[in-house]
Amino acid sequence: MKLDTYVAARFVRSDGVELVADGSDWLLTVVNGADAPAYELFKEDNGAGDGATITGKRVKCRDLQLDATTLSVQNNPVLREAAVSFFNPVYTYKVFLTYMGRTRWIAAELSAFKAPSEKVNVPQTFSAYFLAQTPFWQSVDDFGQDIAAITPRWGFPYMDHPDLGVLVDVANFARKVTFDYDGNVTAFPTITITADAPVTNPKIINGSAFVRLIDELTAGDVVVITTAPQHIRITKNGQNVLNKVDRASNFAGLALQPGTNVYSFAADYGDNSMHVVIRYNKQYLGV
């Protein structure tokens, strides 16, 4: 297998403006902090005996540095001005990094920017420094599935059994779906429930954990459950309904763990009228 040597960074600002260092105008020269986040261990010295006791651990926020240089001295004035005006702490950024055939992205704040004043007839450079509060890289594509999906089965050539009839599609009557999640760390999905007819107290289940909304849905109602720890939220047609959630609900329990995850849904009434779509970005320790 041929080694993929293409390396590039794409910076996307929160207002939609982009700057790319892919070897066309800017060439990426330094990447620091993309491989793995920093870890922090909390400990207490043992009161009796040797050593200490680990009391906690966490993944710290990520510091990221990306440097680039111009490839055309003639374009120095235009490219330098573009970079100086692009990197602005007023905005937030998404940093997309391509390395060894993989592209992943991370949301970050600009913490510093340097564009040294060199001789005007030598390649201009910049260094952009970022702080990512959530330290994990994410897949470019999001993934998902409708638990209640109907799988088309009509094929060619046409087959018609005299007793069994024609197999047109297969519905997921088990109301469950299995995700084989190959990310490195926990992923927190967004779950969308759409009602085709009245539904009473819809419930989403992952293993022994669940989130249950104590409410009546009518045809066309849309419930969105956000499970990310810092952004836990549940809305009905865009309105916050967190106060209607069953107190035994466990949002963290709906997270995808590396490996196999089985999700299902239920309701006190009308579960056959629910469409449940689970979407998530895979989470990685590094690129």
Tokens found for residue 27: 């060439």
Residues of the chain with pLDDT under 70: 148-174
Query: Distance between CA atoms of 74 and 121, rounded to whole angstroms?
Result: 8
Tokens found for residue 138: 């994410």
Residues with Cβ within 8 Å of residue 53, at least 6 apart in sequence: 43, 44, 46
What pLDDT was estimated at residue 83? 97
Q: For 170-216, write each residue's pLDDT tens digit.
A: 344 457 788 889 999 999 999 999 999 999 999 999 988 999 999 99
**What are the boundaries of each domain within the chain?**
8-135, 141-284
CATH code of domain 141-284:
2.60.120.860
What pLDDT was estimated at residue 196? 92
What pLDDT was estimated at residue 166? 42
Tokens found for residue 71: 């490839």
Q: Shortest CA distance to 105 belongs to which of 117, 119, 113, 93?
A: 93
What pLDDT was estimated at residue 60? 93
CA distances from 134 to 24, 104, 184 (A): 30, 14, 14
Q: Please tell me the pTM assigned to this model.
A: 0.80
Question: What is 8-135's CATH number, 2.40.30.200, 3.40.50.620, 3.10.150.10, 2.40.110.10?
Answer: 2.40.30.200
Tokens found for residue 275: 């469409």
DSSP notation for 197-208: S-EES-EEEETT
What H or E segment, with its residue span, contains residue 80?
helix 76-86
Tokens found for residue 287: 């690129």
What pLDDT was estimated at residue 176? 79
CATH topology agreement for domains 8-135 and 141-284: no
DSSP, res 77:
H
